Chains A and B, each alone.
Chain A
Amino acid sequence: MSSAATDSDASPESVIAQKAFGDSGRSERFNRWLNRRMPPANSITLNQRKIFILPTRQGLIFALLVCAMVMAGINYQNSLVFALAFLLASLFMVAMLHTYRNLSGLSLVAGSTRPAFAGEEAEFTIVLKRLGDRTYESLQLGWNPNLMANANLVKEEEARVRLFVKAKRRGRYNPGRFLLQTLYPLGLFRAWSWIDLDMHTLVYPSPIAGGEIPSTTATSQEEGELILRDGAEDFYGLREYQPGDAIRHIAWRAYARSETLMTKQFAAYADRRVWLEWDHFPGMDRESRLSRLCYWVLQLNSRNDEYGLRLPGLEIQPGRGEAHRDGVLKALALFEID
């Protein structure tokens, strides 16, 4: 028994943080053997080639109990004591089948992943799908045997389990094989498998505040200028009507009260358009620069500004929005990797 399972929430979408331990738990030779036996794939259905099963410590104790009962039966020459001992012995065998059955036929599919910043936790979603009318209960999975997420497939056709693994370095991250195990139903046997769904995700540089972004465009200086104009979205104030003001901007309510025509004024912060450049951070090493660039990407994105990126040998035109941000971050994550 290698683990004490955490009895955390057991909703179909259970969440648990994982400490990456990589493949350190297994020897190199065992890993090679595993890779031959069940090569990494995006979708894996468990069968007898992939499931291991052994009695747990409790299972061995239970077996001893059965032996003691048989001894009692012999010494007391009591048929019903025999019967009970044999019933429990048979139950032991049936339990093995049920535990095996609780993994066999289960399909695991690599779900979405969510990139992380270096040093933070990357999210991997694993989709468990059941076979026909089989039910699967109390499945535990995770990269760290001491911190396992629980999943059940009883009424639901599929369960999505989100696992978080700490990502140490920038780049493309593959967390390796994770453990899927179950003790259900009696805890006398443990069935398990080491599964590699060939999942990977991006690890962005860890954002570090600092540095200045010189504005490379003329539109704005610091926080952005406050400019008054017609089409802006926020109401700014009233001024006396001048011929030529749009009729839809007349403050009719004010007119109804005071008989003076007033015009509503609107204001907005001007757009900023920024180039994030490698050369903004002279004298720093590569990772430090990337970390600061990463910080600025997040800053600018949260302000909904337009920004572009220039790295040696790479240029991304300014833009905004989530897709743009993801593109820029990806460029930072993979810069000069392999």
Chain B
Amino acid sequence: MYQIPRNALALMLVSIALVILSHVMRLPIWVTLMCIGCCAWRVMVFHGRWSFPGRWVKAFFVFGSFLGVGFGYGTLLGLEPWVGMLVIALVLKLLEMHRKQDAYTVVVLAYFVALTEFLFEQSIPYTIYMYVTITVITSALIGLNQAEVSPKAAFIKASVMLAQAIPMMILLFVLFPRIGPLWTVPVQSNVAKTGVTDSMSPGNIAELVQSDALAFRATFEGEVPAYSQLYWRGLVLSYFNKGHQSWTQERPGLYGRTLQGKNDVAAWKDNMEYLGDPVKYSVIMEPTNQNWVFSLTLPEMTEQERLGLVRDFRFYSFQEIRARFQYELTSYLDYRTDVELTDFWRHRYTLLPEDDNPRTRALGETLRADSISDDDYLSQVLRHFMAEGFAYTLKPPMLEGNTIDQFLFETKRGFCEHFAGSFVYLMRAGGVPARVVVGYQGGEFNRRGNYVAVRQFDAHAWAEVWMEGQGWIRVDPTAVVAPQRIQEGLEFAVEGEEFLADVGLSPMKFRSTLWITELRLQFSALNHYWDAWVVGYSPTMQMELLNRYLGKIDRKTMGMYLLGGFFTIFALVALFLLMKRSSRKLAPVEKEYLRYCQYLAGQGLARAVGEGPIDYGRRVASARPDLAPGINAVTNAYVRLNFAEDRPGEPELLRKAYRNLRIRSFA
């Protein structure tokens, strides 16, 4: 029976441990325990203490695991149960390694389980970890084929081979034609939705800003707009829900067609007027498992797939964003929208429940009566926020019942959603069309990467108000209460309160410590490039890149480039590997002497294989007395240079003697 080499087994166990470790957080605990058990069993088999499991035991394991996975995950269809079963197959195969071929199967499975890790995680540290894992798996493969295995030697060999494979890999990565999915595949299930949600009630966002997780990164072409201009619109909330006392969105496409592609037509398309200079930027969003994407107002229509422009001028993704998502947009910070508002829309944007928050309604009506115009009314409301002792805080008191009344007249301490929500309520109470906008405001500019990183604590809510002749304008009541929030960021606005109180040790807390900030910025810049160029390398990007560097090319030319480049690199690697390195380099002296022998051979006086230089010289000199002095000079020089010292000397003397010989023979 096949006995796997000891070191190969050790390497195999290490690689299995490494691939499973990367999955361990996603695996039920019993799978992990089973893995450990199987590995231990295999080690005992190797030592001859235990025997391989019998057929029935194996059958029991297989069925048991199937059931376990099925019940544990609730389904057998889905990415996680599949990975679970792959892992189980891997460790069970370990217990069935009777032939060398089985060992290969284990290695192949290990490669595949390693691959599944990338379906969950794509960050740089994980990639490095997986690269090391792949190296270890490859060394296990080497171990199977090496008579004298030392794990170290196998690992070094694997590292060298992988390093030599990298140039070809890069070429394939860049040029291999990327096509869309061929069939739908199970994706990660039961993942939490993150980021802003489609309904806003007091306290929502204050909770969200406790996190320093990345929301998205935006790279600008050219100047980055001023901090206070960075209002990332994600959701427009148009309805006030009485029961929950929360603002919710209008379902995209409900009353206005959602535009797809630049050539799509809708009546409201002309309601957008772009003024001023365009701002181009590209956004890489972290997965949220929701549909909103973020843009600066006013975005231009784009050809980006999956995205549609909704009637309220925000973009919407038709599929939930489950993986990191990259899109490019152009926005105009100066714009006019809906200069004319039909009665239908006017009605919708002034709609309030019949009978809640009576005090707020009363305040609105009073103020409206005092003002001469909508504009004036807006100023009065803002003045109210400024004058009535409102405070901006991360820990607003709990509100119950008519939350807006309670906030405006009792607690007066709130976060952005309190201000935005009650402001819009007040505006509508005064008959002015208004809506809540949720998204992010600001972001941290990374000079190294020339991008703005927006994190969860940048989440924000503000308002848009429709003014006669101006259309929708942005009004941020938070800016009135806490102007630092808009100009500098959250942690400056909440001085005195603990920023990111619920997050443990975060480098974000040390934004004032210079070198930590520097280090963090460098690392995030690296991450950004990674996400933008590697993880985010999409079919569109591929086409763009190729068009930029290779001109307009079709698939066929691309294939030619791919094959040509691949075999060129392959030939270079082959050349490097197979280059003959002669065992002993001839010393210059010997080379020179061989030249002389060659010359005399041309004269019909070849040196015999075993003939020493002195004997040869003597023989040649007697055959050609005319050349005797020259031949003796060469022989003497050669013998002296090559044999009189430990190491051969400089060939100058010999070269000279040989030259003289040639000259004399010519004469």
Chain A residues engaging chain B, CB cutoff 8 angstroms: 4, 7, 10, 57-58, 61-62, 65, 68-69, 71-72, 74-91, 93-95, 97-98, 100-101, 104-105, 131-134, 137-138, 150, 152, 154, 183-187
Which of B179-187, B377-385, B615-623 is near enough to bind chain A? B179-187
Q: In the complex, what residues of A have CB within 8 A of residue B205's CB?
A: none
> Which 8 A-B pairs have CB atoms at the shortest separation, nearest pair first?
A90-B165, A90-B168, A86-B172, A10-B147, A80-B118, A132-B581, A187-B145, A132-B583
Residue from A4, A133, A185 having most chain B Cβ neighbours under 10 A: A185
Report the separation of the CA atoms of residues A58 and B111 in the bound assembly, to the nearest whole angstrom: 14
Distance in Å from the Cβ of B471 to the closest Cβ of chain A? Answer: 39
Select which of B115, B146, B583 is within 8 A of A184 by beta carbon: B146
In the complex, the answer to whether A81 meets B115 with C-beta atoms within 8 Å is yes
Distance in Å from the Cβ of B109 to the closest Cβ of chain A? Answer: 9
B47 interface contact, C-beta 8 A: no
Select which of A77, A95, A105, A187 is within 8 A of B181 by beta carbon: A77
A64 to chain B: closest residue by CB: B108
Q: In the complex, what residues of A have CB within 8 A of residue B5's CB?
A: 7
In the complex, the answer to whether B581 meets A91 with C-beta atoms within 8 Å is no
B537 interface contact, C-beta 8 A: yes
A133/B578 contact (C-beta < 8 A), A81-B119, A185-B161 known:
no
- 21 A-B pairs with CB atoms under 8 Å apart are A7-B5, A61-B108, A69-B111, A75-B184, A76-B181, A76-B187, A79-B122, A80-B127, A82-B176, A84-B134, A86-B168, A87-B165, A90-B166, A90-B169, A91-B165, A94-B573, A97-B574, A131-B581, A152-B148, A185-B142, A186-B142
Select which of B130, B134, B157, B583 is within 8 A of A185 by beta carbon: B157
Report the separation of the CA atoms of residues A87 and B5 in the bound assembly, to the nearest whole angstrom: 26
Report the separation of the CA atoms of residues A58 and B108 in the bound assembly, to the nearest whole angstrom: 9
In the complex, the answer to whether B100 meets A75 with C-beta atoms within 8 Å is no
In the complex, the answer to whether B145 meets A185 with C-beta atoms within 8 Å is yes
Report the separation of the CA atoms of residues A104 and B581 in the bound assembly, to the nearest whole angstrom: 12
Given A80-B127, A185-B145, 8 other A-B contacts at CB below 8 A? A57-B101, A71-B182, A87-B162, A87-B165, A87-B169, A93-B570, A94-B168, A187-B145
Distance in Å from the Cβ of A159 to the closest Cβ of chain B? Answer: 11
**Contact digits for B164-195, partner A, Cβ 8 Å, 1 yes 0 no:** 11111100110010111111110100000000
Select which of A74, A81, A91 is within 8 A of B179 by beta carbon: A74
B535 interface contact, C-beta 8 A: yes
In the complex, the answer to whether A91 meets B138 with C-beta atoms within 8 Å is yes
B11 interface contact, C-beta 8 A: no
B144 interface contact, C-beta 8 A: yes
A65/B108 contact (C-beta < 8 A), A84-B134, A87-B134, A97-B577 known:
yes
Distance in Å from the Cβ of B418 to the closest Cβ of chain A? Answer: 41
B interface: dominant SS: helix
A75/B182 contact (C-beta < 8 A), A68-B112, A104-B578 known:
yes
B5 to chain A: closest residue by CB: A7
Report the separation of the CA atoms of residues A98 and B580 in the bound assembly, to the nearest whole angstrom: 14
A87/B118 contact (C-beta < 8 A), A77-B181, A78-B323 known:
no
Q: In the complex, what residues of A have CB within 8 A of residue B168's CB?
A: 86, 89-90, 93-94
Distance in Å from the Cβ of A43 to the closest Cβ of chain B? Answer: 14
Q: In the complex, what residues of A have CB within 8 A of residue B167's CB?
A: 90
Q: In the complex, what residues of B have CB within 8 A of residue A91's CB?
A: 138, 161-162, 165
B588 interface contact, C-beta 8 A: no
Distance in Å from the Cβ of B8 to the closest Cβ of chain A? Answer: 11
Report the separation of the CA atoms of residues A97 and B578 in the bound assembly, to the nearest whole angstrom: 8
In the complex, the answer to whether A90 meets B147 with C-beta atoms within 8 Å is no
Q: In the complex, what residues of B have CB within 8 A of residue A104's CB?
A: 578
B406 interface contact, C-beta 8 A: no
Distance in Å from the Cβ of A98 to the closest Cβ of chain B? Answer: 6
B105 to chain A: closest residue by CB: A61
B104 interface contact, C-beta 8 A: yes
Report the separation of the CA atoms of residues A183 and B181 in the bound assembly, to the nearest whole angstrom: 37
B167 to chain A: closest residue by CB: A90
Distance in Å from the Cβ of A99 to the closest Cβ of chain B? Answer: 9
A interface: dominant SS: helix
Report the separation of the CA atoms of residues A86 and B111 in the bound assembly, to the nearest whole angstrom: 13
A89 to chain B: closest residue by CB: B172
In the complex, the answer to whether A83 meets B147 with C-beta atoms within 8 Å is no
Report the separation of the CA atoms of residues A238 and B181 in the bound assembly, to the nearest whole angstrom: 107
Chain B residues engaging chain A, CB cutoff 8 angstroms: 2-3, 5, 100-101, 104, 108, 111-112, 114-115, 118-119, 122, 127, 130, 134, 138, 141-142, 144-148, 157, 161-162, 164-169, 172-173, 176, 178-185, 187, 323, 534-538, 570, 573-574, 577-578, 580-583
A65 to chain B: closest residue by CB: B108
In the complex, the answer to whether B573 meets A84 with C-beta atoms within 8 Å is no
In the complex, the answer to whether A86 meets B118 with C-beta atoms within 8 Å is no
Report the separation of the CA atoms of residues A57 and B104 in the bound assembly, to the nearest whole angstrom: 10
Q: In the complex, what residues of B have CB within 8 A of residue A154's CB?
A: 148
Residue from B112, B146, B187, B538 having most chain A Cβ neighbours under 10 A: B146
A85 to chain B: closest residue by CB: B115
Q: In the complex, what residues of B have CB within 8 A of residue A84's CB?
A: 114-115, 118, 130, 134
Distance in Å from the Cβ of B647 to the closest Cβ of chain A? Answer: 20
Report the separation of the CA atoms of residues A86 and B168 in the bound assembly, to the nearest whole angstrom: 8
A68 to chain B: closest residue by CB: B112
Q: In the complex, what residues of B have CB within 8 A of residue A98's CB?
A: 161, 577
Q: In the complex, what residues of B have CB within 8 A of residue A68's CB?
A: 112
In the complex, the answer to whether B141 meets A79 with C-beta atoms within 8 Å is no
A93/B165 contact (C-beta < 8 A), A10-B148, A75-B183, A185-B157 known:
yes
Report the separation of the CA atoms of residues A104 and B534 in the bound assembly, to the nearest whole angstrom: 38
A137 to chain B: closest residue by CB: B146
Distance in Å from the Cβ of A252 to the closest Cβ of chain B? Answer: 58
In the complex, the answer to whether A150 meets B147 with C-beta atoms within 8 Å is yes
Q: In the complex, what residues of A have CB within 8 A of residue B180's CB?
A: 74, 77
A65/B111 contact (C-beta < 8 A), A79-B535, A80-B534, A97-B578 known:
yes
Q: In the complex, what residues of B have CB within 8 A of residue A105's CB?
A: 580
Q: In the complex, what residues of B have CB within 8 A of residue A97's CB?
A: 573-574, 577-578
Report the separation of the CA atoms of residues A150 and B582 in the bound assembly, to the nearest whole angstrom: 25
Q: In the complex, what residues of A have CB within 8 A of residue B2's CB?
A: 4
Distance in Å from the Cβ of B78 to the closest Cβ of chain A? Answer: 14
In the complex, the answer to whether A186 meets B169 with C-beta atoms within 8 Å is no
In the complex, the answer to whether A187 meets B104 with C-beta atoms within 8 Å is yes
A98 to chain B: closest residue by CB: B161
Report the separation of the CA atoms of residues A330 and B313 in the bound assembly, to the nearest whole angstrom: 104
Report the separation of the CA atoms of residues A61 and B3 in the bound assembly, to the nearest whole angstrom: 22
Distance in Å from the Cβ of A149 to the closest Cβ of chain B? Answer: 11
Residue from A65, A80, A91, A150 having most chain B Cβ neighbours under 10 A: A80
Select which of A79, A82, A187 is within 8 A of B144 by beta carbon: A187
Residue from B5, B118, B134, B185 having most chain A Cβ neighbours under 10 A: B118
Select which of A74, A76, A79, A85 is within 8 A of B536 by beta carbon: A79
In the complex, the answer to whether A83 meets B142 with C-beta atoms within 8 Å is no
B112 to chain A: closest residue by CB: A65
Q: In the complex, what residues of B have CB within 8 A of residue A94's CB?
A: 161, 164-165, 168, 573
Q: In the complex, what residues of B have CB within 8 A of residue A82's CB?
A: 173, 176, 178
Distance in Å from the Cβ of A122 to the closest Cβ of chain B? Answer: 25
A61 to chain B: closest residue by CB: B108
Q: In the complex, what residues of A have CB within 8 A of residue B184's CB?
A: 75
Distance in Å from the Cβ of A306 to the closest Cβ of chain B? Answer: 39
Report the separation of the CA atoms of residues A133 and B579 in the bound assembly, to the nearest whole angstrom: 11
In the complex, the answer to whether A4 meets B112 with C-beta atoms within 8 Å is no
In the complex, the answer to whether B145 meets A61 with C-beta atoms within 8 Å is no
In the complex, the answer to whether A137 meets B147 with C-beta atoms within 8 Å is yes
In the complex, the answer to whether B181 meets A74 with C-beta atoms within 8 Å is yes
Report the separation of the CA atoms of residues A57 and B100 in the bound assembly, to the nearest whole angstrom: 12
In the complex, the answer to whether B165 meets A69 with C-beta atoms within 8 Å is no
Residue from A84, A94, A152, A184 having most chain B Cβ neighbours under 10 A: A94
Q: In the complex, what residues of B have CB within 8 A of residue A85's CB?
A: 115
In the complex, the answer to whether A131 meets B115 with C-beta atoms within 8 Å is no
In the complex, the answer to whether A132 meets B582 with C-beta atoms within 8 Å is yes
Distance in Å from the Cβ of A153 to the closest Cβ of chain B? Answer: 11
In the complex, the answer to whether B122 meets A86 with C-beta atoms within 8 Å is no
B585 to chain A: closest residue by CB: A132
Q: In the complex, what residues of A have CB within 8 A of residue B536's CB?
A: 79
